[in-house]
Amino acid sequence: MEIRRGLLWMIGAAVAATALSIAAAQTAEMRGVVLDNVRIIDGSGAAPIENGRIVIERDRIAQIGRAAAIAVPAGAETVDLAGRTVIPGLIDLHFHIENDPKLALRQLSHGITAFRDPGQWDEKFDELRRMIAADNIPGPRIFTTGPHIDGENPAYPADSVVARDREEARRLAEMLAERGASALKIYFRLPFASAKAVIDVCDAHRIPCTAHLELLDARELIAAGLHGLEHVTSFGVSLLPRIEAEAYRQAVLKNNDARRDGRYRVFARANLDGAEAQALYAVLRERRPFLDPTLAVFERRNGGKRSNAAAMLASGFTKMKQLTRRAAQEGARVVMGGHSVVPFAARGEAPWRELELLVDSGFTPIEAIMAATTTAAAFLYRSDQLGALRPGFNADLVVLRGQPDRDVTAIRTVERVMVAGQWVDMAKYREY
Ligand SMILES: [Zn+2]
């Protein structure tokens, strides 16, 4: 009886506390929230604003700039963020949900306020959407593509739809686009004519077409209108002299697993100043496709081992970083994709590792942040609402203790995360 009464009292207190906090949240929403005395990196590539102020009204940024230039609205709730840096919410463009919806919420507590899964059935997001609704939070923002479109003998059967010819590819692409895919993804066994049919459907629906190539020649597909590439290894065969390229192609056609070590061998051998690479750069300059290099998933370290295999993998990876930087210099628009689970990052930290590897590859920290914010939003075709801290944009932002423009590893010092104007429960999702 005592226990029961105690329990009832606890429930009553919890309900009252929830009602109070909802009332407080609504009031703050009405009058606005001011983030004060803060350094601002707005995602545009501009130098940080020292001593900044951000006014948030409901789910949007109302005003942003130097504190001296912006008045504090009457009745607004002010949060003093002296010594902290605010950046836009990070966008992870290569997140595989698999059967782990909690990972998306853990990543949210790491500052990832939006993600795209580049190839998965929509049903796989039901559980995450249910959790988001139950917790009454407005994020992370989910962008889906449906399963990827592959040819026969698909590399990942459970995540694919198989198109046996051009017409089937067109019909599948049309079906996925009509079901609300925010992008479509071509997989590497799809023949050129079928891939082109998918690109055409994307153009008609005004959504981007991205691809994991390897067997298809990136130069041909980008010239044919492909909007983006997943994995720097998608450039693989386009870097080799044609006899070697065909040998690699046939090996992978025979067995999808031939690419596991094979792609490191391709990169270790590739000449980034050779005739093939030059032809690729010419297409990059002309078409400016997006490139989601997903370096973290390919990261290999020699670790002082003397084996030839380890040395080959490490040198292949070094070339992947070099090509990522070179591709950007030639016009590719590099974005950030964490790839969920990678060899050298703890759970939920793949996006942070990817940003560090971009800086390792020669990008400035500010450029790396752009890859995960404004450039990523451009690849989502959402440049008018996401990816930057600008009046009218969604109030998706991350508060850091460190200064990532000086040292990119400060991206790991996430203190608070806001999505659509609402603070995220950090303690809860860090346990996920
Ligand atoms: Zn992937």
At 99-146, the pLDDT tens digits run 999 999 999 999 999 999 999 999 999 999 999 999 999 999 999 999
Give one word for 332, left, alpha or beta, with left for phi > 0 and alpha for psi -120 to 50.
beta
Residue 6's pLDDT band, with cuts at 50, 70 and 90, is very low
Residue 30's pLDDT band, with cuts at 50, 70 and 90, is low
Residue type, position 431, single letter? E
Q: What angle do CA 307, 311, 314 make, to 5 degrees?
A: 140
User: What percentage of the chain reaches a pLDDT higher than 90?
Assistant: 87
Q: What angle do CA 45, 344, 88 make, to 5 degrees?
A: 25
pLDDT score of 25 more than 60: no
pLDDT score of 431 more than 70: yes
With a CB cutoff of 8 Å and minimum separation 6, the contacts of 265 are 312, 316
CB 405 within 8 A of CB 366: yes
If one compares 391 and 16, the residue with the highest pLDDT of the two is: 391
pLDDT digits (tens, 9 = 90+) for 339-384: 999 999 999 999 999 999 999 999 999 999 999 999 999 999 999 9
> 379 alpha carbon to ligand 1 midpoint, in Å?
16
Residue 308's pLDDT band, with cuts at 50, 70 and 90, is confident
pLDDT score of 322 more than 50: yes
> 93 alpha carbon to ligand 1 midpoint, in Å?
10
Residue in the block written with tokens 């990059």: 284
With a CB cutoff of 8 Å and minimum separation 6, the contacts of 6 are none
Encode 278-315 in three state secondary structure.
HHHHHHHHHHCCEEECCHHHHCCCCCCCCCHHHHHHHH
Q: Specify the range with the lowest mean pLDDT, choosing from 181-185, 213-217, 333-337, 391-395.
A: 213-217
> 360 alpha carbon to ligand 1 midpoint, in Å?
21
> 120 alpha carbon to ligand 1 midpoint, in Å?
10
CB 415 within 8 A of CB 404: no
- Rounded to the nearest 5 percent, the helix, strand and coil shares of the chain are 45, 20, 35
Q: What is the dihedral of CA 221, 224, 228, 230, to 10 degrees?
A: -10
> 158 alpha carbon to ligand 1 midpoint, in Å?
13
| Spatial distance between the Cα atoms of 28 and 77, rounded to a whole number of angstroms | 6
Residue 23's pLDDT band, with cuts at 50, 70 and 90, is very low
Structure tokens at 134: 């139950």
Encode 32-98 in three state secondary structure.
CEEEEEEEECCCCCCCCEEEEEEEEECCEEEEEEEHHHCCCCCCCEEEECCCCEEEECEEECCCCCC
> 294 alpha carbon to ligand 1 midpoint, in Å?
8
Hey, which residues does 139 pair with through a beta bridge? none
| Spatial distance between the Cα atoms of 390 and 263, rounded to a whole number of angstroms | 41
342, with CB counted inside 10 A (0-12, 13-18, 19+), is buried
> 118 alpha carbon to ligand 1 midpoint, in Å?
7
Residue in the block written with tokens 């995220």: 424
Average pLDDT, integer, range 65-76: 94
> 339 alpha carbon to ligand 1 midpoint, in Å?
6
pLDDT score of 305 more than 70: no
Q: Looking at residue 408, what is its pLDDT?
A: 98
> 51 alpha carbon to ligand 1 midpoint, in Å?
40
pLDDT score of 9 more than 70: no
Directed axis angle between helix 308-330 and helix 350-360, to 10°?
80
pLDDT score of 17 more than 50: no
> 362 alpha carbon to ligand 1 midpoint, in Å?
23
Q: Looking at residue 303, what is its pLDDT?
A: 72
Mind giving me the DSSP string for 312-361? HHHHHHHHHHHHHHHHHHHT-EE-----SS-TTS-TT-HHHHHHHHHHHT
134, with CB counted inside 10 A (0-12, 13-18, 19+), is exposed
Average pLDDT, integer, range 47-70: 97
How far CA 293 is from CA of 55, 60, 232, 235, 375, in Å, comes to 35, 31, 4, 10, 13
> 418 alpha carbon to ligand 1 midpoint, in Å?
27
Residue 423's pLDDT band, with cuts at 50, 70 and 90, is very high
- Report for 29-43, 257-271, 323-337: range of highest mean pLDDT: 323-337
Structure tokens at 280: 């690729």
Structure tokens at 254: 């025979």
> 292 alpha carbon to ligand 1 midpoint, in Å?
10
| Spatial distance between the Cα atoms of 383 and 386, rounded to a whole number of angstroms | 6
User: What percentage of the chain reaches a pLDDT higher than 70?
Assistant: 92
- Report field, pTM of the whole predicted structure over 0.85: yes
| Spatial distance between the Cα atoms of 149 and 184, rounded to a whole number of angstroms | 8
pLDDT score of 3 more than 50: no
Give phi and psi for 45, each to the nearest 5: 100, -5
Bridging pattern class, strands 77-80 and 33-40: parallel
pLDDT score of 13 more than 50: no
| Spatial distance between the Cα atoms of 252 and 314, rounded to a whole number of angstroms | 21
Residue 332's pLDDT band, with cuts at 50, 70 and 90, is very high
Mean pLDDT of the chain: 92
